[in-house]
Structure 1
């Protein structure tokens, strides 16, 4: 894990639960998702792609044309557990997009170059 992951107790706790097959507390999962989204926005500055992890958060990231209103043209959406696994390198981008765990729209929606965080 990168140093950013060690700074978040929620990310560490979420990974431990996921890897052990234990259910996650909603607050832990929420905090882990938000910490990883925040790190993504820091490591991939910009506003070209919106990454959505309902119901816990969304960020805009990535270089390119800035989006300001309405539905963004470049969107990545996934569930919280998939996001934690993707962001920490426990799941490959290609596998997640192939099996439908991640939904993409727009020609800039491939954020695989920013993962794992």
Structure 2
């Protein structure tokens, strides 16, 4: 039998190749963490991220439905950006993917210089 790579593993390997990749959590929409990586030594942090990411997506989805009445306006993903990291949360079917990235070093330096100039 051939050694085949699962499609989920292929996507994860492609994400790891992106510069600044920090870690990820894959969970079902009930909050059960299925896989996580690079989130710290404890599984507790993966569960913490999953809980808050699901809560944020549910609240954002409710607000999008309220703001835009057309039924084809469905929330697909949310991107959060801070000085220290960037988080992208996406839901497909009954699964949620939460990816953490570190901002590029150049971008952080430019933002720091701009703040110092003000």
Structure with the largest fraction of strand: 2
Length-normalised TM-score, structure 1 = 0.29
Greater C-alpha Rg: 2
Length-normalised TM-score, structure 2 = 0.29
